[in-house]
Amino acid sequence: MNDRTSPHAPTALPFVVERNAHPVNSEERARLLADPGFGRVFTDHMVMIRYNDAKGWHDAKVMPRGPLSIDPATAVLHYAQEIFEGLKAYKLADGSMALFRPEANARRFRDSAQRLAMAELPEDLFIESLRQIVTIDRDWFPDIEGGSLYLRPFMFASEVFLGVKPSSEYIYIVLASSVGGYFKSGAPAISLLVSQEHTRAAPGGTGAAKCGGNYAASLVAQADAIAKGFDQVVFLDAAERRWVEELGGMNLFFVFSDGSIQTPPLGGTILPGITRDALLTLAREDGIVVREEPYSIEQWQADAESGRLTEAFACGTAAVVTPIGRVTGANGAFSIGAGGPGQFTTRMKDRLVAIQRGLAPDPHHWVMRLD
């Protein structure tokens, strides 16, 4: 039988390693790593694992990174059966390589697969695939402030068939991309536009799954915001168009003058961010009052204007923690606090980054060392 439903099946699957015969030379790599930006510089290799209903997961490979050749009738090109993950590998202060909470990404990848009716990759195979790519491409860590190796595991329906049904074949790939700090010097506060016309996720839909389709559905609103001079879109709930949910790819937190914090509750329409979860855990540990409760856009504006709300920030793997300076909704624009990064936001970000980089104690065993 196959591994479609067995979460902890042992990874008997051996990885065949085919080294890239023409890797990027070291001078060119050094040039790329000096200022990699985000998502444009890729390493020499990739991982690929195949699935079909008959064989289950098979043919695990580490191979030279390169183009795929796929039939134009491949299911993903028509019905968007695709999911992904995003996490960073870090070089710790002592030079060893580490991942941050990869088990959480492995579990979420399975949850996303379930929602999209895809084959579920066993969690240990997911983690082993990350270990393989980071190990072979260990020379691709940028040695710059905030630098890391961003890992992008993803999976798509690869059956060649135009009928509408869950694919019987899948291809799983992991790419690695050298990235710098998301922002060059400290984190500037971003400006947000509340989308009045579009929503991102509806009850019963795929909002909690990390699937490409959610992003496709958010792009028109995001492009509209950028065209108007904003940095990001805030999505409201689809039913009442009132409750603040999240940005296109980051979760939201609100910080109040009484020292408490709040974030919208997970309930199927919000992506359960691992950064969100880590920050909630750290805040509770600090004795901070934490609410996972709905927050309306009217209340956000009223609290910002009265001073009850002092800070707001977005969070996710790529940018970690990003302060929000200004928000424009149906009833005009409002500023948050002094409009720049607040004390609480900066403190939480520094605490999380210190754990991720191996510079602070890690009581929850979030950091997985790879060597």
Ligand X SMILES: *Cc1c(COP(=O)(O)O)cnc(C)c1O
- The Cα-based distances of 129 to 47, 119, 203, 298, 302 in angstroms read 7, 16, 33, 45, 48
Q: Which stretch binds ligand X (CB under 6 A): 21-29, 232-240, 260-268, 271-279?
A: 271-279
User: Which range, of 55-63, 124-132, 248-256, 304-312, touches ligand X by CB under 6 A?
Assistant: 248-256
Stretch that binds ligand X, among 88-96, 126-134, 260-268, 269-277 (CB under 6 A): 269-277
The residue range among 153-161, 259-267, 274-282, 331-339 that interacts with ligand X, by the rule CB under 6 A, is: 274-282
> Looking at 122, 180, 181, 249, which residue binds ligand X (CB under 6 A)?
249
Look at the alpha carbons of 79, 210, 14, 90 in this order and tell me if their dihedral is positive or negative: positive
251 belongs to the binding site for ligand X (CB under 6 A): yes
Among 273, 323, 341, 358, binds ligand X (CB under 6 A): 273
**What is each CA distance from 210 to 60, 78, 206, 277, in whole angstroms?**
23, 18, 8, 16
320-331 burial code (b ≥16 CB/10 A, e <16): bbbbbbbbbbee
- Which CB, 249 or 323, lies closer to ligand X? 249
Point out which span in 189-197, 256-264, 270-278, 324-332 binds ligand X (CB under 6 A).
Answer: 270-278
Q: Could you say which of 120, 137, 237, 246 contacts ligand X (CB under 6 A)? A: 246
Q: Please say which residue, 102 or 142, places its beta carbon nearer to ligand X.
A: 102
Spatial separation of the C-alpha atoms in residues 112 and 43, rounded to whole Å: 26
Shortest Cβ 328–ligand X spacing (Å) = 21
Q: How far apart are CA 5 and CA 180, in angstroms?
A: 37
Whole-angstrom Cα distance, residue 173 to residue 46? 7
Name, in order, each residue with C-beta under 8 angstroms of 228's C-beta and a sequence gap of 6 or more: 193
The residue among 60 and 155 lying less far from ligand X, judged by its C-beta, is 155
Residue 245 engages ligand X in binding (rule: CB under 6 A) = no
Structural contact between residues 72 and 155, judged by C-beta atoms closer than 8 angstroms:
no
Query: Closest separation between CB of residue 56 and ligand X, Å?
Result: 28
Site for ligand X (CB under 6 A): which residue of 271, 336, 352, 355?
271
* Residue among 44 and 181 whose Cβ is closer to ligand X: 181
Q: Which residues pair with residue 252 across a beta bridge?
A: 314
| The one among 119, 133, 174, 274 contacting ligand X by CB under 6 A | 274
* Binding window for ligand X (CB under 6 A); candidates: 175-183, 222-230, 246-254, 349-357: 246-254
Between helix 102-115 and helix 274-285 the angle, nearest 10°, is 130
Tell me whether residue 199 or residue 251 sits nearer to ligand X (CB atom). 251
Q: List the interface residues with ligand X, window 316-355 (CB under 6 A).
A: 316-317
- The correct pick among 194, 250, 283, 290 for binding ligand X (CB under 6 A) is 250
Counting every residue written for the chain, the total comes to 371
> Could you give the CA distance from residue 200 to residue 245 in angstroms, rounded to a whole number?
9
Contact present, 172 and 49 (Cβ < 8 Å): yes
Encoded tokens for 370: 């790879």
Looking at the Cβ atoms of 43 and 275, the one nearer to ligand X is: 275
* Pairing of the two strands 190-194 and 232-236: parallel
Assigned token pair, 175: 């790419």
Q: Is there a contact between 290 and 283 (Cβ–Cβ < 8 Å)?
A: yes
**String of contacts with ligand X for each residue 189-228, x by CB under 6 A:** ---------------------x------------------
Choices 6-14, 56-64, 88-96, 268-276; region in contact with ligand X by CB under 6 A: 268-276
Q: How far is the CB of 339 from ligand X (least distance, A)?
A: 24
Does residue number 82 form part of the binding site for ligand X (CB under 6 A)?
no
For the bound state, the minimum distance from the C-beta of residue 132 to ligand X, rounded and expressed in Å, comes to 21
Q: Is 118 helix (H, G, I), strand (E, B) or coil?
A: coil
Q: Could you tell me which residues come within 8 angstroms of residue 286 by beta carbon, excluding any fewer than 6 positions away? A: none
- Cα separation, 208 vs 210, in Å, equals 7
Helix (H) / strand (E) containing 40: none
List contacts with ligand X (CB under 6 A): 86, 210, 246, 249-251, 271, 273-276, 316-317
